[in-house]
Structure 1
């Protein structure tokens, strides 16, 4: 049974260098980040517990993480396929993205 939105929370855990998504009191997943020597936040890995897959939690997690990063004025360097896919499909207002060349979106020819 899908959890209601009231049961889902996303928070930044600076001690673990990740954003976490909880369903109720249970850690359901996370997306890791690391600050590089140029002041960019790399996102190398996102994981959702198999017991919670298929509920859209990875998308919610990444969406909230990117919105928070934008509000903090951080530069994001996506590397995780989940983060890359999200950012290629979704514009996050105010988010500064430093695309690795292998993931850079192709400009729209129109």
Structure 2
């Protein structure tokens, strides 16, 4: 099942879409125009166990990096993903958060 990750700025979230519809979302807030705070991630239980959450978070983080935004992973799922992929994302964390990741 192919998953497409799209930004939905009107809803302040990245969305994971499959051929069956909206499967999940990662909510965010833009702060001062240069930081993105990921606050909550949710995948519809009907889509659970398919790696959609992982694809969603990776796509959202990659988009933040491409835009040059400092990442603040408040959402535990996003924070865990960053912790598991430090080479890709730690350097893009907000400076205060980066210190916590060591």
Q: Deviations over 1:51-79 (max 9, x none)?
A: 00111111110001111110110111010
Structure 1 residue runs of 5 or longer lacking an equivalent are: none
Supply the distance in 1 between the matched residues of 2:68 and 2:42 (Cα, whole angstroms).
25
Match of 1:47 among 30, 42, 45: 42
Supply the distance in 2 between the matched residues of 1:95 and 1:18 (Cα, whole angstroms).
22
Structure with greater Cα Rg: 1
Contact 2:34 2:68 in 1 (8 A): no
Contact 1:21 1:57 in 2 (8 A): yes
Task: Name whichever structure is richer in helix by fraction.
Answer: 2
Q: Which residue number in structure 2 is paired with residue 97 of structure 1?
A: 93
Normalising by the residue count of structure 2, what TM-score does the alignment of the two structures yield?
A: 0.86
SS in structure 2 opposite 1:84? Answer: helix
Cα RMSD (Å): 2.1
Structure 2 residue runs of 5 or longer lacking an equivalent are: none
